[in-house]
Structure 1
């Protein structure tokens, strides 16, 4: 199953690279896309949960890497909320 790395720039200027175990992330995000934090949150949860489900259907277990990436993203979104930093999340690369 092909995996995908994607890069984002957060509203506070931080840049990060994340992993999806499936190309299904292409159905939820686009390179060059700009999303509100709430929309990015919804899209990335849908994407990584769907990716983990694909792994389950193929191998019989859910992808712990997808869960770990969601946890990192959740922590970042929580930090932004706590710091009252609002802005767009930009997807700079989706490969």
Structure 2
């Protein structure tokens, strides 16, 4: 199963490398685009859940690494929840 890494830039300028066990991320995000925090969270939840389900369909168990990545994204996003105009940029994809 092709995995990929992608880099996001949080509202405070911090860059973070993220992981997906599937290329489904490309269906949700575009490199160079930024997204309102709430939209980024919704799309991350959908994409990483689908990615985990694809792993489960193939190997018989969900991808704990994808769910861990989602938990990390949600935890960091909570730190910016008080900022209504917060945006997250997807900077790069690395297959």
Normalised TM-score (structure 2): 0.93
Contact 2:2 2:21 in 1 (8 A): yes
Q: Equivalents in 2 of 1:36, 1:27: separation in Å?
A: 17
Size of the aligned set, in residue pairs, is 93
RMSD of aligned Cα (Å): 0.9
Secondary structure (helix, strand or coil) at the match of 1:23 reads coil
Q: Equivalents in 2 of 1:54, 1:25: separation in Å?
A: 12
> What is the aligned partner in structure 2 of residue 53 from structure 1?
53
Deviation, 1:25, is 0.8
Deviation, 1:59, is 0.4
Matches within 5 A, 1:1-95: 1-81=1-81, 84-85=82-83, 86-95=85-94
Deviation, 1:16, is 0.2
Secondary structure (helix, strand or coil) at the match of 1:69 reads helix
Normalised TM-score (structure 1): 0.93
Q: Equivalents in 2 of 1:94, 1:27: separation in Å?
A: 12
CA deviation profile, 1:25-80 (whole Å, cap 9, x unmatched)? 11111111110001100111110000000000100000000010011001001111
Gaps of 5+ in 1: none
Gaps of 5+ in 2: none
- After superposing on structure 2, the runs of 4+ consecutive aligned residues of structure 1 that deviate more than 3 Å are none
